[in-house]
Amino acid sequence: MDIVRIPLGSWIEGGLNWLTSEYSIVTRGISRVTQTGIDGLNNSLMWLPEWALMAIIVALCWKASSTRLAIGAAAGLALIWNMGLWDPMIETLTLVVIATLVAVVIALPVGIAAALSERLYRGIMPVLDFMQTMPAFVYLIPAIPFFGIGSVSAIFATVIFSMPPAIRFTTLGIRQVPSDLIEAADAYGATRSQKLFKVQLPLSLPTLMAGINQTIMLALSMVVIAAMIGADGLGSEVWRAIQRLRPGDGFEAGIAVVILAMLLDRLTQSLRGSRS
């Protein structure tokens, strides 16, 4: 007996075609604004001499964490510069920063709303499960018809891929605030907004920072994968090494990615600890 095949793929493709045709003006506007932001931040970081930006990052590491992290940052950044990967590192850092900012701006209100509404919480958790279990490469597919080849599509895919942890940790942090503190705030006549901004959010800040840390790590992993759709940076160096069968160049770019990931991870962890 023949099995009737559900044309799910055709439905999805038709939906994407309809969205790109009906909302092309919107996507072009978003693309222009995003590209302007990418170019502005990238040019600003490129304008600084290598030694100046390195000094700023090292000073930030020393101020936020410790001398040990500052020395490690100086050694790691010097190695990236020595390997001739400074400009690709800046391009990758730009994509990570912009994608993380967009993801956090979207995720924080959604996470707060989910924490305060049980109905929304139950509805959004399966969506987050779906987003986190979907293979990362799949997010590249809808990015291309919406924004074309390049860094804007990389930002779009990265934001979707890296947003779930920020939403989850925001919701978790607010829901874990002790109930006796909420009752005390109610007893003093605090409004809902006062409870949120003066009790719940300050107490949940360490958990929120953990979510931002995970978002940064996922964004960094995604912008490397996004080199397949034309994103610049260290990912394009890895992709170029694969295409040309140059394992040495690929490992150098991979080491630069690891250094950048460790630096961002330690910095955000230090910020989280300083606010605990």
Which CATH number belongs to the domain containing residue 130 in this structure? 1.10.3720.10
Q: 176: closest CA among 203, 212, 138?
A: 203
Within a domain: residue 190? yes
Cα Rg of the chain, angstroms: 21
- Please identify every stretch of the chain with a pLDDT value under 70, giving residue numbers as ranges: 1-2, 272-276
Angstrom distance (rounded) from CA 72 to CA 64: 14
Number of neighbours of residue 26 by Cβ within 10 angstroms:
11
Is 131 part of any domain? yes
Residue 274 pLDDT: 53
State the greatest distance between any 2 C-alpha atoms of the chain, in Å, as a whole number: 71
* Residues 81 and 50 sit within 8 Å (Cβ to Cβ): yes
Q: Write out the chain in H/E/C secondary structure.
A: CCCCCCCHHHHHHHHHHHHHHHCHHHHHHHHHHHHHHHHHHHHHHHHCCHHHHHHHHHHHHHHHCCHHHHHHHHHHHHHHHHCCCHHHHHHHHHHHHHHHHHHHHHHHHHHHHHHHCHHHHHHHHHHHHHHHHCCHHHHHHHHHHHHCCCHHHHHHHHHHHHHHHHHHHHHHHHHCCCHHHHHHHHHCCCCHHHHHHHHHHHHHHHHHHHHHHHHHHHHHHHHHHHHHHCCCCHHHHHHHHHHCCCHHHHHHHHHHHHHHHHHHHHHHHHHHHHCC
Would the pTM of this model clear 0.75, i.e. be above it?
yes
Residue 272 is predicted with a pLDDT of 63
Separation CA 252–CA 254 (nearest Å): 5
pLDDT tens for 33-85 read: 888 888 898 888 888 888 899 999 899 888 887 888 889 899 999 999 999 89
Tell me which residue range forms the domain holding 260. 19-274
Asked, for residue 7, whether it belongs to a domain, the answer is no
| pLDDT score recorded for residue 87 | 92
Pair of tokens at residue 87 = 């400009």
Specify the number of domains making up the chain.
Answer: 1
pLDDT for position 229: 81
Judge whether 126 lies within some domain. yes
**pLDDT for the residue 109:** 92
What per-residue confidence (pLDDT) applies to 130?
87
3-state secondary structure 170-239: HHHHHHCCCHHHHHHHHHCCCCHHHHHHHHHHHHHHHHHHHHHHHHHHHHHHHHHHHHHHCCCCHHHHHH
In a domain, 48, yes or no: yes
Residue 3 lies in a domain: no
Q: Is residue 12 part of a domain?
A: no
**204 belongs to a structural domain:** yes
From CA 47, how far away is CA 66, in angstroms rounded? 28
**pLDDT of amino acid 200:** 85
